[in-house]
Amino acid sequence: MSLQRWDPYREMRTMRNLMDRFFEEPYRVFGRSEMEESRSMRVDMHETENEIVLEAALPGVKPEDCDISLRDDAITVSGEIKSEHKQEEEGQVYLRERYYGKFQRTIPLPSTVNADKTEATFKDGILRVVMPKSEEQKPHRISIKSEKSDQPEIEAKGRTKEQ
């Protein structure tokens, strides 16, 4: 048997790890569980100079079962995934991981959009919403006018052109 040097901090690290696990476990039970994570839709959103584009993965959702609403500063996508199975199934069910039911997600927008010109398309389980930015939100380029000054121009070495 080999002797190990006593490290008082080792016991403290062990206690800290136990406390971390203690406080993480209830969060998993009462917070967002893995099941809730799998129910939330996955979203990509990017911004260009003139528009904001949102793409959401909605497998198993029909376009008529989906609803989109725009407020001043947020977009809400909601809908329902309907089950194709009857409750009284015959035989033994071994595994059921697919989610059926209502869903809703509200995402804040980085700038104000024009709701009247917003377009939504649905293809292969992907919802794509293109929201044009409102005119006051679009960047305006301001040109800078140069005025001649009375001071002589300075070259790279610190001398004026006249020297």
Looking at the DSSP assignment, which residues form a beta bridge with residue 47?
Answer: 52
pLDDT tens digits, one per residue of 75-85: 999 988 877 76
pLDDT tens digits, one per residue of 66-117: 999 998 789 999 988 877 766 556 677 777 777 778 889 999 998 889 889 9
pLDDT for position 87: 58
pLDDT for position 145: 76
The residue that leads in pLDDT, 78 or 156, is 78
| pLDDT band per the 50, 70, 90 thresholds, residue 118 | very high
Exposed / middle / buried, residue 41 (Cβ in 10 Å: 0-12, 13-18, 19+)? middle
| pLDDT band per the 50, 70, 90 thresholds, residue 52 | very high
Contact 134, 51 (CB under 8 A): no
pLDDT tens digits, one per residue of 20-40: 877 776 555 444 444 454 456
Question: CA-CA distances (angstroms) from residue 154 to 149, 150, 151, 163?
Answer: 12, 12, 9, 10
